Structure 1
């Protein structure tokens, strides 16, 4: 979790504590407030200590319980401010995957150079429609969200037009393990591998494969995207991180460059992909 984000969470927690202490009808203990809200008292202290992120509903309930419903807008504005950096999947996917893809499309449209590392799946900008469909379905099952799969796929495919625009540069590194991952039927994966070999040599695309047997200067951890050396988007199971501070961007670019030293490109990358494709039997 970014330091800036944690600090903002602690500042919000201090404001919540201040409201509890200054309740119009007298100072409330944490236990008293928890009883009013029907919460375990530990939640009150976690929110005040910056150890748990409040939801908008939490903030509205808190403001009402301390007798200050008018401060909800202020509290919610604080939350929106730092949630722009950590975007929980629960909130983002409340309306399905399509709105998330639209947000990505807007961010990518502004970029001229993108650096990507993916260790588990094919980068979205290089996915076939069928592969993307299965990825969305897997995550919809995980999160229990609405299945707006067709709309999400169309939005992701629209984003790929970026690759065919002059002046764009897409630098992607993919761990070889992602090429084996059966997140889709074998026939779909075969077509996806063919798609990857097809983008090698494009003017706007540099695709590197990090072989499983390559010596690594840094562990092959979570995937991330760096847009124009100004914004990092990294994914975790609970949220996306959108980081725009200079130190974070520099760190992720340093990781990308270290991973690049282990990658193969051009004909060597094609040979890795083609070898995996040949290993897949029709009946797999």
Structure 2
């Protein structure tokens, strides 16, 4: 089963910490001596070396300078920035509004042939109507306290839907039944969203499976995740999007998707669950 999506972040930061330990030892310094020369408490050195605290770019510069390893600074800073890109906090990502963040991801989507998507909270952006996306993005903006550019961000999000109608892109999507019954926006808007979902099921590029709420669970409900071919997994948590890049972890998510697929219903049974959700709105 999938390990924590934060393990990729931890592994990247631990690799940086191990290099810093190596640099300190090569310089013939112990932790206390390095701390004194850097002008900080030994506890900070201990946390950085263990990987419990991430070294900032200024920390790396100071560490390498006192160890006479200035030539290592550029590579370590690049590695730190790469680790930061694995874990993208939503508030930071949306700090200037949501439109730019929506536009930035389209390149990754265009390069992907097979999307395997599991959602346990809201419908994926590909499938959202304008009203559903507007209500959802307004609530996200309010919660995060980020600039409100929802009117501009919604068209940018909906633009990725064109990939379902062009090129060699394929979409295998698994949706927990309760997502169909979780009202986002108005009753009329939710009904229109579910009708839109039914229409998408007829597309040859799209496979939609619904996991019934009462089915025996072979795999527990997980946080929403997006598999981009076999190259990357984007896991969405409350506070951040975590990019899983380690092959062993990607394999775990592929296995989880296969297990969740076995619990899902497709075709007429899936349509019936969507129809039931529409009827419950009335």
Shorter-chain TM-score tier = 0.7 to 0.9
Deviations 1:16-73 (A, max 9, x none): 6767x97xxx743499515xxxxxx86664344312345xxx43367469977x7875
Q: How many residues align structurally?
A: 270
- Cα deviation for residue 258 of structure 1 reads 0.8
CA apart distance, 1:264: 1.2
Q: 1:98 to 1:32 in 2, by over 3 A?
A: same
SS in 2 for 1:33: coil
**Contact 1:170 1:204 (C-alpha < 8 Å) held by counterparts:** yes
- Residue 33 of structure 1 is aligned with which of 36, 40, 50? 40
1:10 aligns to 2:9 (yes or no): no
CA distance in 2, matches of 1:12, 1:90: 25
Deviates more, 1:1-10 or 1:255-264: 1-10
* Stretch of structure 1 that moved more, 86-95 or 106-115: 86-95
Separation in structure 2 between the aligned mates of residue 133 and residue 73 of structure 1, nearest angstrom: 42
TM-score (structure 1 length as normaliser): 0.82
Q: CA deviation at 1:74?
A: 4.8
Cα deviation digits, residues 89-123 of structure 1 (max 9, x gap):
23322222223212321111001111110011011
Q: Offset of 1:139 from its aligned partner?
A: 1.7
Q: TM-score, normalised by structure 2?
A: 0.83
- CA change 1:135–1:44 in 2 (3 A) is farther
- Which structure's relative contact order is higher, taking Cα pairs within 8 Å and 6+ residues apart? 2
2:60–2:76 Cα contact (<8 Å) kept? no
Kindly report the root-mean-square deviation, in angstroms, between the aligned alpha carbons of the 2 structures.
3.0
Provide the rounded CA distance (Å) in 2 between the counterparts of 1:179 and 1:82: 35
Partners in 2 of 1:27 and 1:83 — Cα distance?
Answer: 25
Give me the whole-angstrom Cα distance separating, in 2, the residues matched to 1:93 and 1:277.
32
Structure 1 residue aligned with 2:221: 220
Uncovered stretches (5+) of structure 1, i.e. residues with no partner: 35-40
Q: In structure 2, what is the Cα distance between the partners aligned to 1:66 and 1:244? A: 28
Q: Which residue of 2 aligns with 1:38?
A: none
C-alpha distance in structure 2 between counterparts of 1:72 and 1:183, whole Å = 48
Structure 2 gaps, min length 5: none
- 1:76 corresponds to 2:107: no
